[in-house]
Amino acid sequence: MQMYKKKKLNTIAAIAFLSLIAVAFFLVSCKETPPTTLEVTVVTANGTILPDAKVWLVAEPTDTAHNPIAVQDSSVSNASGKAYFDLSSFYKPGQIGVMQIKVKGFYFGLTGEALAEITEQERNQVLLQIQ
């Protein structure tokens, strides 16, 4: 009779331990990944901030057979000369590496280009000088 109670306690302890591990795994796996964003600050050659400048992102992969994703997006800079882009949809889960995007700008006949290196799950920034 004594062995039966000990066996039952061991089973209950094992179930409780496995349940605790399952709950911990569930909580860790539900963690939201931070977004991948790009903040473009548009300025003139002398450093003047340019609001309402048109900003384009252009990126085409060098290997379209294995990576067909091409980034083409545009925005207008706000009153503080910043244009924001959310690039989270261009990364696949588990993908590692840096993406390079060409940033182009236009403001009443003035133009400019910059190259931005985008790191996944970070707030990336680039200064776009228009002249």
| Domain identity same for 20 and 52 | no
Determine the Cα–Cα distance for residues 77 and 55; give it in Å rounded to an integer: 7
Domain count, the chain: 2
**pLDDT tens, residue by residue, 34-82:** 888 999 999 999 999 999 999 999 876 665 565 555 678 999 999 999 9
| Domain identity same for 70 and 24 | no
Q: Which domain holds residue 124?
A: 37-130
Determine the Cα–Cα distance for residues 6 and 2; give it in Å rounded to an integer: 7
**What 8-state DSSP symbol labels residue 90?**
G
| Domain identity same for 55 and 110 | yes
| Domain identity same for 57 and 90 | yes
| Domain identity same for 59 and 104 | yes
Q: Which residue in 53, 110, 47 sits closest to 79, CA to CA?
A: 53
**pLDDT tens, residue by residue, 2-40:** 555 556 667 787 787 778 887 777 766 666 778 889 999
42's tokens: 């548009």
